[in-house]
């Protein structure tokens, strides 16, 4: 497709939102992981959730500050997907699956993060209250964390990374919008992401969890390429 035919405003919007999406989500993951917040994979094996509860109660200010980051980051994915849906030719059917992936995956992810944030807020507000026993708190936390991780580790990435970004890479390849190697890299990330879903049942596959941050780096690269195309146009 000809770059001259693409509105520069769409390319700039898609590029800026893609870069923001990658940076915001990576920053959130690094901050939360360094404080032991949000992610707690021992819940898959029935491990005690008390360490996670203690981390949340020990870092209330950090928890409050980073609460908005995942919502902002995932919203940027939807903005990028929508802008590129408008850019790519209608004859490319893969763009429809990409748009649908972002349209379904982003709301799912945002809702799940809100659920997780609500749990964290509940953990902080009930600290030291005699009306809530440790057994009750542990039971509630285990249930919500397991549900959150299933949705966050499987359903969110299935729609956003596999369908959204994977099909976006395929669409860009067909439209000759981006370099072939970059498109193939995006498609490979989607394939590895599918394999990583097996970690829910087979812990050894958790080694493939590296593909999620790799996808964020790829997405930042996508934004850079789109901004370069906007300058050429």
> What angle, 0 to 180 degrees and rounded to 10, lies between the N-to-C axes of helices 8-34 and 69-87?
150
Burial, 118: exposed, middle or buried (Cβ in 10 Å; 0-12, 13-18, 19+)? exposed
Taking residue 194's Cβ as centre, other Cβ atoms within 10 Å add up to 15
Walk along the chain (233 residues) in steps of 10 and give the mean pLDDT of each run: 65 96 93 79 79 84 81 94 92 95 93 85 75 77 85 88 96 94 97 87 79 95 94 75
Does residue 217 contact residue 165 with C-beta atoms inside 8 Å? no
SS3 127: coil
State the Cα–Cα distance between residues 153 and 140, nearest whole angstrom: 20
Helices (H), the chain: 8-34, 50-58, 60-65, 69-87, 94-125, 134-150, 156-157, 167-175, 180-196, 211-232
State the Cα–Cα distance between residues 9 and 18, nearest whole angstrom: 14
- In terms of phi and psi (left: phi > 0; alpha: psi -120 to 50; beta: otherwise), the region of 73 is alpha
Domain count of the chain?
A: 1
SS3 48: coil
State the Cα–Cα distance between residues 36 and 61, nearest whole angstrom: 14
Range of the domain at 158: 3-232
Residue 215 confidence (pLDDT): 96
State the Cα–Cα distance between residues 66 and 120, nearest whole angstrom: 12
The model carries a pTM of 0.87
Residue 112 confidence (pLDDT): 87
Residue from 228, 223, 194, 226 nearest 211 by CA = 194
Residue 23 confidence (pLDDT): 96
Does residue 43 contact residue 145 with C-beta atoms inside 8 Å? yes
DSSP 176-207: T-S-HHHHHHHHHHHHHHHHHGGGGT-GGGGG
State the Cα–Cα distance between residues 165 and 7, nearest whole angstrom: 21
SS3 22: helix
Residue 24 confidence (pLDDT): 95
Residue 224 confidence (pLDDT): 96
Residue 118 confidence (pLDDT): 85
Residue 147 confidence (pLDDT): 85
Residue 209 confidence (pLDDT): 82
DSSP designation for 49: S
């Amino acid at each position: 497709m000809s770059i001259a035919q693409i509105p520069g405003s769409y390319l700039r919007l898609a590029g800026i939102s893609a870069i923001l999406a990658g940076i915001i989500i990576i920053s959130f993951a690094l901050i939360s992981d360094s404080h032991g917040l949000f992610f707690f994979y021992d819940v898959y094996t029935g491990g005690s959730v008390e360490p996670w509860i203690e981390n949340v109660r020990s870092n209330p200010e950090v928890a409050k500050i980073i609460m908005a980051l995942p919502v902002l980051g995932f919203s940027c994915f939807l903005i990028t997907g929508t802008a590129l849906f408008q850019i790519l030719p209608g004859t490319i059917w893969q763009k429809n699956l990409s748009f649908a992936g972002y349209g379904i995956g982003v709301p799912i992810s945002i809702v799940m993060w809100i659920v997780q944030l609500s749990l964290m807020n509940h953990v902080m507000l009930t600290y030291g209250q005699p009306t809530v026993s440790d057994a009750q708190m542990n039971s509630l936390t285990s249930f919500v964390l397991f549900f959150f991780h299933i949705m966050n580790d499987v359903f969110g990435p299935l729609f956003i990374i596999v369908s959204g970004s994977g099909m976006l890479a395929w669409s860009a390849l067909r439209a000759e919008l981006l370099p072939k190697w970059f498109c193939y890299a995006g498609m490979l990330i989607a394939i590895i992401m599918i394999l990583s879903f097996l970690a829910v049942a087979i812990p050894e596959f958790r080694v493939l969890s590296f593909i999620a941050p790799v996808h964020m780096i790829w997405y930042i690269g996508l934004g850079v390429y789109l901004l370069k195309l906007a300058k050429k146009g």
